[in-house]
Amino acid sequence: MQEQEYTYLKHKILKLTGVDLACYKSEQMQRRLQAYLLRSGFPTWFALFRAIQNDPEAIGHLRDYLTINVSYFFRDPEKYKCLQGSILPELARGRLSLRVWSAGCSRGHEPYSLAILLNEVVGAYRPHQIIATDIDRSALEWAQAGGPYSAEEVAAVPAPWLERYFSAQEDGYWATRSLRRRITFCEHNLLAKSFVLPESGAGGYDLIVCRNVVIYFTNEGKDQLYQHLYDALRPGGVLFVGGTEIISKAHEIGLEAIEMSFYRRPLPQLKSPRTGPSGIR
């Protein structure tokens, strides 16, 4: 694709969908765009834009396509075991409830997995707050409805939990009403020029889960996002990222790596008592 054409597409797509392609890796994005045009049957982008410009559904479809939303329940089970065995119990020590944000939640697999773990590990009757956000409106609608999810998508859900938290219907698995009520879903762009934090109450989030979202972001986009996520954590709070994602500027941002895929915003250092020139306090 010519540079000029990509510049035109970035401009047009930002205007139509609100997605800023400048924050996504251009090579991968150009390949996706080319495939989209081919599949659409329109001879040119100009013709495609003219056809969809007053059609919110078609515009939504283009936005959803650009922001890919494949997901599974308990994606990377080993990491969820770590969350269950050490991270959550540690975060919950001395707290009645936890504040959790699933950033880039797709069709709900991730926040439902987190809600199940909070129920099972920390306590079902505690007033946990789980916020789940995504840029993709149709994925959020799916998530909010609680399904349907395929057998493949729920494959990593342990059998007793599958029975407790889902109902099996002809069209797939549906999250139970009580599980759905645990989560607040809302639309949110992690790359928005003016980053607005989803409501976290005072003090920030205990846990932010942002996994498999940044794969197509540019390095600048990633750095900027991780800085925002650091700011959104409470001191001592944990950021959980994708299995293959490494925060290269973690140290600069102020995050400390605690396990593969888990980073912590450290607690403020206690000031040591002043010592005089002779070392006598």
Which residues are at the interface with ligand SAM (CB under 6 A)? 67-71, 75, 104-106, 109-110, 134-136, 139, 189-191, 211-213
Residue closer to ligand SAM (CB basis): 158 or 266: 158
CB of 276 to ligand SAM, least distance (A): 53
Residue closer to ligand SAM (CB basis): 19 or 255: 19
ω into 148 cis (within 30 of 0): yes
Contacts of 217 (CB under 8 A, 6+ apart): 23, 24, 25, 191, 225
Tokens matching residue 158: 């342990």
CB of 265 to ligand SAM, least distance (A): 20
Residue closer to ligand SAM (CB basis): 161 or 217: 217
Strand extents, DSSP E, the chain:
99-103, 129-134, 166-169, 172-175, 183-187, 205-210, 233-241, 256-259, 262-264
Pairing, β 166-169 against β 129-134: unpaired
d(CA 236, CA 132): 21
Contacts of 125 (CB under 8 A, 6+ apart): none
Residue closer to ligand SAM (CB basis): 42 or 195: 195
CB of 242 to ligand SAM, least distance (A): 6
Q: Looking at the DSSP assignment, which residues form a beta bridge with residue 45?
A: none
Furthest-apart CA pair in the chain: how many Å? Answer: 81
CB of 94 to ligand SAM, least distance (A): 29
Residue closer to ligand SAM (CB basis): 211 or 264: 211
CB of 74 to ligand SAM, least distance (A): 10
CB of 187 to ligand SAM, least distance (A): 9
Tokens matching residue 50: 């003219």
* 22 conformational bin, left if phi > 0, alpha if psi -120 to 50, beta if neither: alpha
Angle between helix axes 137-145 and 56-66 (nearest 10 degrees) is: 90
Residue closer to ligand SAM (CB basis): 180 or 228: 228
